[in-house]
Amino acid sequence: MANVWKTTTQASNGGWDDPIYPEFFAAVREVNSRLPANLRIRVLGGDPGLGDNRSREIAAVALLKERVLQKHSRALVIYGAAHFYRAAPKDYLSNMGQDIGIVKMVKKEYPGRTFAVIPVGYRWAYPPSIFEPDYRKFDRALKTHVRPVLVSLQHLPFRDFSAQEFVDPLLNVRGPGGPVSVFKGNKLTLGQMADACVYFDDSK
């Protein structure tokens, strides 16, 4: 079973050794064991296989078009947050070529078929000089103490929160000062970045 998620062009980075992946598949199998065949969850691997020269996003979008969108079906797509940004800083996009994000790529041919959700609230492993989120602002705006919680980013005040305050900083080396977030000084808002977020308690 491990070959399902380890036999890809991304295997060399060691990321697939994280126990979250076998745990995820085990959870899906457990859920499916209680469902009739016609309601069971089908999991498709979106990364390109060995010998496939396509990028991760191009391969993922091709799979979505063939197995989901062209069949007028629906899918839950799980990737790193940056693949779901509806908007991104120009400096970031200029380095990505065709890989402008899975949501942005799908939207070109299938407008209105995506609902983008990103995570907010982790304690990121970046130096404070790069990323200093004030999650208390997020907490004060919420009307529930439940965590994690799905939060719409299309309603105030979350819609207008600055992306540079809360979005995982994609790092860029700019001059002798070292790495800084590509969101630094950018005016993008969370409402422009995604439709919703899953907010986590940053103290956990």
List the beta bridge partners of residue 180: 172
Q: Which of 192, 191, 181 is nearest to 88 (CA)?
A: 192
pLDDT reported for residue 181: 82
Domain map (residue ranges) of the chain: 117-204
pLDDT tens digits, one per residue of 68-79: 999 999 999 999
Q: Is the pLDDT at 57 greater than 90, yes or no?
A: yes
pLDDT reported for residue 204: 46
pTM for the predicted model, two decimal places: 0.88
pLDDT reported for residue 189: 97
pLDDT reported for residue 94: 79
Per-residue H/E/C for the chain = CCHHHHCCCCHHHCHHHCCHHHHHHHHHHHHHCCCCHHHCCCCCCCCCCCCCCCCHHHHHHHHHHHHCHHHCCCCCCCCCHHHHCCCCCHHHHCCCCCCCCHHHHHHHHCCCCCCCEEEECCCCCCCCCCCCCCHHHHHHHCCCCCCCEEEECCCCCHHHCEHHHHCCCCEEECHHHCEEECCCCCCCEHHHHCCEEEECCCCC
pLDDT tens digits, one per residue of 96-108: 888 899 999 999 9
pLDDT tens digits, one per residue of 118-135: 999 876 667 777 777 888
pLDDT tens digits, one per residue of 139-194: 999 989 999 999 999 999 999 999 999 988 877 756 567 777 888 888 999 999 99
